Structure 1
């Protein structure tokens, strides 16, 4: 691998020297352009490798790693293509095309799950009109409270729900993200707390009420500490925008320590 690197470097210098002296041929111009393109591609691949952990946290580690493998195959094909202009053989001429095609196919196939995870289109919308009963804040609601009763309390707010039991909310025409491991539109994996936080914050304003249902499921998949950190960060962002946050929880499913920590950050919504 070291020899081709120095060979490319030497070729690049010769092309640059020829360009300056005005003796550049069409073949040299072509090679010069390919070396520049290959250099840019190399930098792009290196940058992707450096941020793959961050991308994996948002889009799925396995999916991101598989897609990067495709880019590496494509990069290898382009590398062989550049070498083919220096060391011309019939094998390399065919091999570079095979690698490029294989890399592109790999990227196309492995990027499909990532595309599915990006399709989150739900936006807040008003369900019940009327004067607001609740002001901006962070609240806890017992899971036993009927949904229609909760919706009446949220009259005058634009609603957005993130729920494990998504159908329950969609039946009331509430824009809802379904917490599930199955990829698809308006669905999000329970482990993707960082992108979920960003998604909600981007859509919250002083007219928005966000309902989170399925906290217990999030805890099961991520652990309480990670979910508590997510919820407190979400709460701070929601309140800073003048919005409202409601957590629908069943106290019986939480440990005493967990419930007390939530009660420090959220107030119980008790309406007789």
Structure 2
């Protein structure tokens, strides 16, 4: 068996085991008389603990085999090729793909700011220490738990926050998830102008702007405009 085939066999096996465990946990909750709301809360809590479970498993592997999957190599180069002073579009149904790209780009300690429509508490533990997140939501407060809140109706404030972040050092990364949400809460032309301003900031401050969108949620004209604004698709 080739090393490549061995890798993918192990990948599929781990994927299968993960699915089985997730369903077993869910079935276990449904047999204990919990209400749907209680099950939802407990399921979210379990999902937030995935990062800790992965870390524990990595420690076990290190103790059993001596293979260190915990320490990140500072010499490792990201497989994602991007240029400073540019913007890139990420088309995916899952924000985790964009966050994985952010992790690659910050593996050397580069700072990144993720502006997420998804609740960042579900993902923060899986991100590099140099990555911070804010929540894009209409929540009234400017803070929710450990996370700063930015309103979709305050695009000017988003511009200001990202400008301050990028000005501190060249090469910083900003990820924006929620273009569709911004369009719903505002209007398409206004959002495109806002994104053009964000791109201009990335260019003048030598940063990296990542925009993640969900396929089939934007009309063809809007998606074409986004592709024209950005320097490529990841």
**What TM-score, normalized by structure 1, do the two folds share?**
0.49
Residue 196 (structure 1) aligned with residue 196 (structure 2)? no
Which of these residues, 187, 194, 202, is aligned with residue 149 of structure 2? Answer: 187
Corresponding residue number in structure 1 for 2:113: 160
Distance 2:102 2:73 in 1: 7
Q: CA deviation at 1:188?
A: 1.1
CA RMSD of aligned residues (A): 2.2
| Kept in 1: contact 2:178–2:212 (CA 8 A) | yes
Q: CA deviation at 1:177?
A: 1.2
Deviates more, 1:173-182 or 1:206-215: 173-182
Describe how 1:218-257 pairs up with structure 2 within 5 A: 218-257=182-221
Describe how 1:29-48 pairs up with structure 2 within 5 A: none
Which structure has the highest helix share of the two? 1
Secondary structure at the aligned position of 1:171 is classed as helix
| Kept in 2: contact 1:161–1:177 (CA 8 A) | yes
Which of these residues, 53, 61, 77, is aligned with residue 131 of structure 1? Answer: 77
Aligned length: 144
Q: Unaligned regions of 5+ residues in structure 1, if any? A: 1-126
Deviations 1:116-155 (A, max 9, x none): xxxxxxxxxxx99543542211000112362453134413
Secondary structure at the aligned position of 2:126 is classed as coil
Secondary structure at the aligned position of 1:253 is classed as coil
Q: CA deviation at 1:218?
A: 0.7
Describe how 1:80-91 pairs up with structure 2 within 5 A: none
Distance 1:248 1:266 in 2: 11
Corresponding residue number in structure 2 for 1:176: 133
| Kept in 1: contact 2:183–2:191 (CA 8 A) | yes
Which of these residues, 84, 102, 110, is aligned with residue 151 of structure 1? Answer: 102
Change (3 A) 1:226 1:241: same
**What TM-score, normalized by structure 2, do the two folds share?**
0.56
Change (3 A) 1:197 1:169: farther
Q: CA deviation at 1:268?
A: 3.5
Give the number of the structure with larger relative contact order, counting CA–CA contacts within 8 Å between residues 6 or more apart. 2
Q: In terms of Rg, which structure is larger?
A: 1
Distance 1:128 1:159 in 2: 18
